[in-house]
Structure 1
Amino acid sequence: MRPFAMKTYESLGRRINWWSVADTSGEGMPIVFLHAFPLNSEMWGPQVALRQDGIELFAYDIFGFGGSDAASKADDYTIEALISDVHNFIRDVVKRPAVICGLSLGSYIALRAALADEDDIAGLVLASVGAGSDEPEKFRKEIDECAATYEDHGIEAFLTSLFEDPSFGDARKLGPATFDRMVRSNPRDGVVLTARHILAPRTPVSSLTQGLRALKAPTLILVGRKDVECLDPAAFLVRNIPTSTLEIFEGCGHFINMEKTDLFNSKISEFVRGIKDDPARMSSRRMVSE
């Protein structure tokens, strides 16, 4: 179930579903959480405990997922639109600079949003970042097969194929009903078209070197030791983002926020404390509201 009642706002003329939890002091650092494919913002329920650590939580369903709008036209699914959604959400809803925390697809969106504009970003938490399409043809074929499974054989076959991957399956074992409910709650068009038009053609992190080296936002990179496909991208990012640190979670797969909740939350809290202790960093962040 969703941690709290959902609200809505509009970005690019599309309705986006979101929820928030104020910290216990009422003066906390805002963090915007971006969910993984093919889940929704419910996956961040285990992070609600962070409100005790001076953190105000915001999370929303990415376009095409959960209760947010979806579309049946491929042209409506672009990484550029998802990047705009991040900055619009911070400007219109959060209304002050925020840390962005993403996992998997969410972390890729967070990274691309920071590369596009850092002015409203106080920090980045990049969890379980995939490499992207270093081998474009092979990668696109795999993603297309995944989408075709859903189209041709339905949600049950899609769930079976998705969680055959051990790095996904380990987390699902913690709460199969929760995982299945999240996937089932997403519009089919949103899942299929996001897979084909955002996941499959995404620019690999190895092609972002120039932008990565120019990033100034404090960056925490998190990855599970058993999440084999995300280990090399994490190592690449920490080598190329000057302000970054890397933490590897032993015995953990892809969904580290659910598999190792206490450790994940403690790393987030520690990271946020470091940002709060650097007033110069915070005063250098500016936002332009129109």
Structure 2
Amino acid sequence: MPFATTDDGVKLHYEETGSGAPVVFVHEFAADHRSWELQMRHFGQRYRCVTYGARGYPPSDVPEKPESYSQNRATDDILAVMDHLGIDKAHVVGLSMGGFATLHFGFRHPTRARSLVVAGVGYGAEREQQARFRGEVETVAATLKSEGMTKFAEKYAYGPTRVQFENKDPRGFAQFKKELAEHSALGSANTQVGVQGQRPSLYDLVDRMNALAVPTLILTGDEDWPCLTPAMLMKREIPSAALAVMPNCGHTINLEDPDLFNRIVGDFIGQVEAGRWPRRDPRAMTSSITGMR
């Protein structure tokens, strides 16, 4: 079983397939490296695809202390996997927690990114939701520690932006819930406290967004309510960003509608590889509605 080792000694399990331009997939909180299987099979036919388990997600190491987990650690772990595999630049595709890490990868390591897919990003980002979100983070962590992973999965899998997945694909949803129950309760609790609960609001990162030149795709489901307004923020503030919204979809979009997800992401990567991804024309950014002042 292959592992990459981070600068603080954490071993991260990874898998890879295919050849060509590298694409790295970064999973969400409620998933692990297995959740990208449908993307690994699809994109592995034309690209070198890599997926890995975040720290805290077996078979990757599970550090015991919350201090070993942070937004910067989650971001730099992408780089650790790339360095281990000798990948200079990659298309980085992240969902939710992985999407936040992908966005911050663009901030921290822009020269190492061919492009960024920032999918399902926005939970806790809006200022009026921050206190509530951090309160829920504490509740999640406490529940994981007191009840364990199996009971937690039975509740968390049915969140308001995940029931769409169950309604659309009961078989796929059952697999998602089963794999969630197999996670480490300690690793998941530490991830909540160290990564989810401490990451900065997107609204405090506008200056960094304005400076981001890496081709970026913002992708969200139209029923992923906490992500819709933040998605508009990122589209507006990142001059190299486009926004795609998947209809009748919740949060787990790569699993809920993999064909549409793969098509949107595939078209984006193809445009970037062809050198055809644009930056926003400054003439489009004006206070005038019609241009006739």
Q: Give me the TM-score of the superposition, normalised by structure 2.
A: 0.87
Q: Percent identity at matched positions?
A: 27
Contact 2:70 2:199 in 1 (8 A): no
2:44 match: 51
Distance 2:193 2:261 in 1: 30
> Do structure 1's residue 137 and structure 2's residue 128 form an aligned pair?
no
Contact 1:174 1:259 in 2 (8 A): no
After superposition, the Cα gap between the structure-2 partners of 1:278 and 1:75, relative to the gap in structure 1 and judged at 3 Å, is same
TM alignment of 1:220-239, pairs within 5 A:
220-239=217-236
After superposition, the Cα gap between the structure-2 partners of 1:239 and 1:183, relative to the gap in structure 1 and judged at 3 Å, is same
Contact 2:31 2:179 in 1 (8 A): yes
Distance 2:144 2:242 in 1: 37
1:287 match: none
CA displacement, residues 105-124 of structure 1 (integer Å, 9 cap, x when unaligned): 00001111111120110000
1:151 match: 145
Distance 1:279 1:89 in 2: 28
Counterpart code for 2:251: H
CA displacement, residues 136-178 of structure 1 (integer Å, 9 cap, x when unaligned): 3322111111222222223333123212323123324342442
Distance 1:254 1:59 in 2: 19
- Cα distance, 1:46 vs structure 2: 1.0
1:16 match: 12
1:98 match: 90
Query: 172, 185, 190: which is aligned to 2:187?
Result: 190
Counterpart code for 2:113: I
- Cα distance, 1:185 vs structure 2: 2.5
1:171 match: 165
1:284 match: none
Aligned residues: 271
SS of alignment partner, residue 124 of structure 1? strand
TM alignment of 1:243-258, pairs within 5 A:
243-258=240-255
SS of alignment partner, residue 58 of structure 1? strand
Root-mean-square deviation (CA), in Å?
Answer: 1.8
SS of alignment partner, residue 102 of structure 1? strand
1:3 match: none
CA displacement, residues 2-40 of structure 1 (integer Å, 9 cap, x when unaligned): xxxx52111121110000111xxx4x2211000000210
Counterpart code for 1:147: A
- Cα distance, 1:94 vs structure 2: 4.4
- Cα distance, 1:78 vs structure 2: 1.6
SS of alignment partner, residue 116 of structure 2? strand
Counterpart code for 2:3: T
- Cα distance, 1:275 vs structure 2: 1.2
SS of alignment partner, residue 236 of structure 1? helix
1:202 match: 199
Distance 1:193 1:218 in 2: 32
5+ long unaligned stretches in structure 2:
279-293
2:282 match: none
Distance 1:199 1:72 in 2: 17
SS of alignment partner, residue 148 of structure 2? helix
After superposition, the Cα gap between the structure-2 partners of 1:29 and 1:279, relative to the gap in structure 1 and judged at 3 Å, is farther
Distance 1:75 1:250 in 2: 38
Runs in 1 of length 4+ with deviation above 6 angstroms?
none
CA displacement, residues 189-239 of structure 1 (integer Å, 9 cap, x when unaligned): 110011112101211111100000100110011110111111111111000
SS of alignment partner, residue 25 of structure 2? strand
CA displacement, residues 68-103 of structure 1 (integer Å, 9 cap, x when unaligned): 001111211122222221122222214221010000
> Do structure 1's residue 124 and structure 2's residue 119 form an aligned pair?
no
Distance 1:243 1:61 in 2: 29
Contact 1:221 1:244 in 2 (8 A): yes
Contact 1:132 1:202 in 2 (8 A): no
5+ long unaligned stretches in structure 1:
1-5, 282-290
